[in-house]
Amino acid sequence: MTKDKRVLVGMSGGIDSSATCIMLQEQGYEVVGVTMRTWDIPSHFSTPGQEQPDEILEAQAVAARLGIEHHVADVREEFRKVIVQYFIDEYMRGRTPNPCVLCNPLFKERILCEWADRTGCQWIATGHYCQIEKRNGWFYIVTGDDATKDQSYFLWKLPQEILSRMLFPLGGMTKDKVREYLAHKGFEAKAKGGESMEICFIDKDYREFLREHCPDIDERIGPGWFVDSKGVKLGQHKGFAYYTIGQRKGLGIALGEPAYVLKINPEKNTVMLGDADQLRTEYMLAEPPVAPDIEELLACPNLSVRIRYRSRPIPCQVVRLPENGYLLVRFAVEASAITPGQSAVFYDGNRVLGGSFIASQQGIRKISAEHAPLFDKKR
């Protein structure tokens, strides 16, 4: 079979990647599978003495049953250096990371491309619930038909050279339909399988993970002060890395009324608390964007933004600040809990125009007041 009909599938041994392999076979592709061994967790090993994690054994079993070539990529050391270290570093900066956003372009899809070249595959495919559209010479991520499983939010950093090779066979299906399809193809037990973890390398509270993999974290940070919006000390906290914007539970302080984390200042090791109203804002600052066509993003009349996974898109306008290339976002309705380190993903309807990491909101009132005329000029 020619190279243009060979496709490399990232196989986890689960529902989605297994269905992806079967569908592509039915579409006439010669499927090659690769499973990445990224991070070992005790719960990934079902039996004593087991040398390979469950997902590799399950992927190998599926590959054998389908008669497809299968490879294992042991990338644990690189994963630790790139993705896990990023996760730790972001919390140490007082930010809240979303490792999946970085993992896809810098790690998983990049490795898929390398293995595709090595195995003579033109295409790479995954079980993500999203789609691809080519428009004006650019490749765009488009939301999946199953709104409850759509994963377009995580893929905004994928570069054009990867998108041009990507196939997403599940993008036009719902999860229930995928389960039905898999059962119909004779994989009844797998079709009833559970969902994977949102962060694949953490099976506990992230604070425990930080302490385990950064043993001197409490020495480096130490206790600090909870403060209110006026800087008045309210009590001690355990260290700024253990908190995130919008957090209400587990603060370890009783103020007689619900309190939320409003801001984190890693330089001063302070965590600002306040009420829910103080979390709301009309503006947001985001780092310089990544987009196929940045001018299209800036000029889009029907722009919306998602500021966290599973959140609803919020209609907005954006301007690019001339001094640093950051985006100033003005929401059509107030947003809540703007969290530095998370992703702001911009949409025109169901098409991803680009994305950015949410920046520190320090000085946002002054910045928005100074640059408000830029929005008026766009009208």
Q: Is 17 annotated as a binding residue?
A: yes
Q: Confirm if 155 and 128 have CB atoms less than 8 A apart.
A: yes
Q: Is 16 annotated as a binding residue?
A: yes
Token digits of residue 340: 């530095």
Q: Is 275 annotated as a binding residue?
A: no
Q: Is 376 annotated as a binding residue?
A: no
Q: Phi, psi (5° rounding) for residue 178?
A: -65, -40
Q: Is 10 annotated as a binding residue?
A: yes
Q: Is 202 annotated as a binding residue?
A: no
Q: Is 343 annotated as a binding residue?
A: no
26-32 contacts: CB < 8 A, separation 24 or more? 27/169, 29/5, 29/123, 30/1, 30/5, 30/6, 31/7, 31/66, 31/68, 31/69, 32/6, 32/7, 32/8, 32/68, 32/69, 32/70, 32/71, 32/119, 32/121
Distance CA 101, CA 77 (A): 19
103 is catalytic: yes
Q: Is 194 annotated as a binding residue?
A: no
Q: Enumerate the β-bridge partners of residue 131.
A: 142
Catalytic residue among 103, 121, 300, 316: 103
Q: Is 284 annotated as a binding residue?
A: no
Q: Is 92 annotated as a binding residue?
A: no
Q: Confirm if 153 and 347 have CB atoms less than 8 A apart.
A: no
Neighbours of 122 (CB within 10 A): 15
CA-to-CA separations, 357 to 96, 186, 326, in angstroms, rounded = 10, 43, 10
> Which residues sit in the known binding site for ATP?
10-17, 36, 127
Q: Active-site positions? A: 103, 200
